[in-house]
Amino acid sequence: MALRIVLVRHGLSSFNAERRIQGRDDLSTLTPEGHDQARRAGEALRAVAFSAAYASPLRRASHTAASLLQAHGQGLEAIHDDDLVEIDLSPWSGVTREELGQRFPDGERLWREAPHTLTLQHADGRHYQPLPELMQQADRFLTGLLQRHGAAIDAEPQPSGLQAAAADASVLVVAHNAILRCLVLRLLQLDASDFRRLRIDNGSISVLNLSPNLSPSPGGANPGGPELSADPAVQLESLNGTAHLGEPLPKKGSGPRLLLVRHGETDWNRQGRFQGQIDIPLNAHGLAQAEAAGGFLGPISIQRAYSSGLSRPRQTAEAILASHPGVPLTTCSGLVEIGHGLWEGQLEPEIQAGWPELLADWKRAPQTVQMPEGETLQQVWDRSLAAWARIVASLGPDETALVVAHDAVNKTILCGLLGLKPADIWAIKQGNGGVTVIDYPHGAQELPMVAALNLTPHLGGVLDRTAAGAL
């Protein structure tokens, strides 16, 4: 059993449209476009039966929740929770982005570059730090949420620690940009300093799964508050999905962009057989997934493409590039899947029979495992992130590159970009044919931003229904 948390940011507000700072003041209203975004999100989520819905009481969020739930059709009403209100930027409330830089240049720079260090002053003279306080607020909300819905997380571990269980309960949370980012950071046990690594757009949908914990909390000890009640294992299934709003990907700004895709399904994925570096081609369903990814990314301008040299990612990349004639495909040895050694070609019960303790460690603490005659996660981490860094460094500021690789490789890359560690790979989901978007808005040498993660609408909907499978 597991608990699914679906996060939706409110639709476009009047202050969003005017590029004004709104924070937790309730001065802006939901625009007609914002209501339409909410309706589209509700329609996209109709396949999900919610146990409860929670929303910020601020109008732009509460009205989004009302429009979303009406379109969803389940008859739920959102429960307003004050711990979902937006970050407190009251000294800047109503100021346009342009005016902010002119009137508060030092504060604006800190908000862009190191928001966790920003200190503001209330009208009564009291100083405060908006982002650390918001992280504490996120912790309070999540603690209360788990007290109310934690029973959905079964105390018994699942047969395989490699995937979150199918959710038996789902809750909807409708709130704001900064508080939603803090909820994700808090669940992943990341710090406020990682705030700029995530992007959440108006009307977007993000999904997290909470299940019985077989391993230490992602990111290690929590620097911003107490451990979560029941200490569940957390999996980020998807982040910032916007395809239901009419655009496949979040809009690209300045700086290079990379599209990270996991290869389509193989027969061994479907069977749950460990394939590692054995060269297994796509099956018919995997080819269809690759073609669907190609259709999904067809409108996107791509200048370069890179792939592992194994057949399954190369076939996937070629199917995507069919809509982008003239883009060369370069293979990278650093993107090859983890070497499972003697586990390759075996099903989990066969590995259980031969290496029971090692398999248990792989599920519980994967960073400690030396595969028999294979690799460690640290070795995969080192080579995959080095290959990624070379690709990023080669891109021009306006270029977009396609990168197609494997489950463990994609997860190690994403853990590195998010500020996680090799121990945390089970906290990231990468479905066959799923698309992840990484931006470098301030240049290739600066902090990356995960603009979207594991998008699968081209494969059947908001939720990732691809095969669980082995690596």
Q: Which of 35, 63, 72, 86 is catalytic?
A: 86
- Taking alpha carbons only, the member of 177, 183, 200 closest to residue 86 is 177
Secondary structure class of 235 (helix, strand, coil): strand
CA distance 170 to 404: 31
Would you tell me the crossing angle of helices 407-418 and 377-394 to the nearest 10 degrees?
Answer: 70
Backbone φ and ψ of 15, nearest 5° = -70, -35
* 10 is annotated as an active-site residue: yes
Which alpha helices (H) appear in 175-227, and where do they start and end?
177-187
CA distance 76 to 69: 6
CA distance 156 to 138: 27
Joined together, the tokens standing for residue 355 give 């290496």
- Taking alpha carbons only, the member of 280, 240, 263, 239 closest to residue 403 is 263
* 446 is annotated as an active-site residue: no
- Taking alpha carbons only, the member of 290, 295, 292, 320 closest to residue 305 is 320
Query: Residue 303 is which amino acid?
Result: Q
Q: Which of 10, 244, 340, 458 is catalytic?
A: 10
Print burial letters for 97-124: b (CB count within 10 Å at least 16), e (below 16): eeebeeebeebbebbeeebbebebeeee
Joined together, the tokens standing for residue 146 give 């788990």
CA distance 179 to 175: 7
Secondary structure class of 22 (helix, strand, coil): coil
Q: Quick count: other Cβ atoms within 10 Å of Cβ 171?
A: 21
- Partners of 347 in the β-ladder: 273
Which conformational region is residue 445 in: left (phi greater than 0), alpha (psi within -120 to 50 degrees), or beta? Answer: alpha
Residues 84 and 139 sit within 8 Å (Cβ to Cβ): no
Joined together, the tokens standing for residue 126 give 């009291």
End-to-end CA distance of the chain: 22
DSSP state of 226: P
CA distance 439 to 422: 22
- Positions annotated as catalytic residues are 10, 86
